[in-house]
Amino acid sequence: MSKKTLMVGIAIALLIAGLAPFLASSNPDGLESAAEKFSSAEGMDYVAFNSPMPDYAIEGMGRTGEVLAIMIGTLLMLVMAYGAGMILKKA
């Protein structure tokens, strides 16, 4: 039973991940839109850490890179949360 739950869940997550780059709006999000209204929030963005796949994309790979990036992230989340769950279950 739990194996089936896992499989159905993974399938749904990967489906969303595969569709996201094609369906997602590239407009700024609520917080970014608000920030654009205020000059006090301009140019405050600085990089504290160099992420390997900024903005859910892989440099030079276009749309394919976006699909890959989100798929990798989704699988990484799955493994991390499963691992955390198993460790905490034993704890």
Partner 1 sequence: MHIPDGFIPLWQCAIYFAVTVPFILASLKWASKEMDELKVPLLATLAAGIFAIQAMNLPIPWGTSGHMVGAVMAAIILGSPWAGVLLLTLVLLVQGFVFADGGITTLGVNILNMGIISCFVGYYSYEGFKKLGTKIVAASFIGAWLGLFVSALVCAVELWLAGTFPLVEGLYFMGLYHAVIGVIGEGVITAIVIGVVLNLRPDILPSERKVSA
Task: Rule CB under 8 A: say whether 40 interacts with partner 1.
Answer: yes
Task: Rule CB under 8 A: say whether 38 interacts with partner 1.
Answer: yes
**Nearest-approach distance from CB 22 to partner 1, in angstroms:** 10
How many residues in the chain? 91
Query: How many residues lie near partner 1 (CB under 8 A)?
Result: 61
**Nearest-approach distance from CB 40 to partner 1, in angstroms:** 6
Task: Rule CB under 8 A: say whether 82 interacts with partner 1.
Answer: yes
Nearest to 35, CA basis, from 43, 47, 25, 23? 43
Looking at residue 60, the DSSP 8-state letter turns out to be: T
Indicate the helix (H) or strand (E) that contains 65. helix 62-90
